[in-house]
């Protein structure tokens, strides 16, 4: 099976070599767990492999995203606006409607010929809908549109406030092919918070079921596939 390396060695091992080509991965975690950091690593890996990539940012401004990449020593100058596209979508913008998303998003992805696409976070987009059944219908439709494109998707989502394994709206984990959960672990006897990563779902593939520790460093993310959290 054709694998798309995520770009983080320990995670790629957990995924059995990487994401399966032309699939949708959801990364779920509360604020500060590193969703955006993982997502940037994912698109940078694509750039290094000569792919075109798009990072749709619903939270942070474009210049901030570029700054973060520069902080992380990603050499992006030669890729900017050639194969690397960071696009800010503003959910409060009057023109930012479900209809424009359904039309413009696939168009942009096709035009740029993006092999990797990040939507960070998809939960802000889901929040546009007040009615849960409308949200479910529209999100299913959007995901189907994305499935027809020859691209690999990483969608991030905040968690539900009471359950670290459930996304904010409880939808994306069902719609995505692969689900990765990022979580804080606060053991009673420790004074330091640990971070753990799990692959909880991967359609059409065997994958690790283990809970592994990870760490965000200045210049990279380490997933310690050899280590144990407990």
Enumerate binding residues for Mg ion (CB under 5 A): 35-36
185 contact choice in Mg ion, ligand ADP, none (CB below 5 to 8 Å, kind-dependent): none
Which residues, 6 or more positions from 21, have their beta carbon under 8 angstroms from its beta carbon? 1, 2, 3, 4, 152
Q: 159 with 124: CB under 8 angstroms?
A: no
Beta carbon nearer to ligand ADP, 39 or 142:
39
196 contact choice in ligand ADP, Mg ion, none (CB below 5 to 8 Å, kind-dependent): none
From 10-18, 44-52, 141-149, 216-224, span contacting ligand ADP (CB under 6 A) = 216-224
Whether omega before 121 lies within 30 degrees of 0, making that bond cis, reads yes
Q: What is residue 80's DSSP assignment?
A: B
Examine residue 145 and tell whether it contacts ligand ADP (CB under 6 A). Answer: no
Q: How far is the CB of 46 from Mg ion (least distance, A)?
A: 19
The token duo for 216 is 């965000």
State the angle between helix axes of 35-48 and 62-71 in degrees (0 to 180), rounded to the nearest 10: 80
Q: What is residue 196's DSSP assignment?
A: E
Which residue in the set 33, 83, 152, 196 belongs to the binding site for ligand ADP (CB under 6 A)?
Answer: 33
Which residue in the set 10, 12, 23, 35 belongs to the binding site for ligand ADP (CB under 6 A)?
Answer: 35
Q: How far is the CB of 142 from ligand ADP (least distance, A)?
A: 21
Examine residue 32 and tell whether it contacts ligand ADP (CB under 6 A). Answer: yes
Taking alpha carbons only, the member of 17, 63, 25 closest to residue 43 is 25
Specify which residues 154 forms β-bridges with: 25, 118
- Contacting residues toward ligand ADP, per CB under 6 A: 29, 31-37, 71, 216-218
């Amino acid at each position: 099976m054709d694998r798309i390396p995520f770009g983080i060695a320990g995670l790629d091992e957990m995924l059995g070599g990487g994401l399966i080509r032309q699939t949708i991965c959801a990364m779920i975690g509360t604020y500060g767990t590193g969703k955006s950091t993982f997502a940037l690593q994912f698109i940078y890996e694509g750039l290094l492999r000569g792919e075109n990539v798009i990072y749709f940012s619903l939270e942070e401004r474009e210049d901030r995203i570029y700054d973060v990449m520069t902080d992380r020593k990603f050499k992006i100058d030669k890729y900017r606006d050639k194969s690397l596209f960071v696009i800010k979508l503003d959910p409060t913008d009057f023109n930012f409607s479900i209809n424009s998303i359904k039309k413009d998003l696939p168009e942009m992805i096709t035009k740029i010929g993006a092999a990797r696409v990040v939507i960070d976070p998809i939960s802000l987009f889901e929040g546009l809908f007040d009615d849960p059944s409308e949200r479910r219908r529209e999100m299913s439709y959007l995901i189907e549109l994305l499935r027809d494109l020859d691209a690999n998707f990483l969608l991030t989502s905040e968690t539900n406030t009471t359950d670290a394994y459930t996304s904010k709206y409880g939808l994306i984990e069902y719609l995505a092919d692969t689900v990765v959960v990022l979580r804080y672990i606060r053991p009673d006897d420790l004074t330091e918070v640990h971070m753990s990563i799990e692959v909880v779902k991967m359609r059409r593939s065997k994958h690790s079921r283990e809970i592994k520790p990870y760490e965000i460093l200045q210049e990279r993310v380490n997933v310690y596939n050899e280590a144990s959290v407990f």
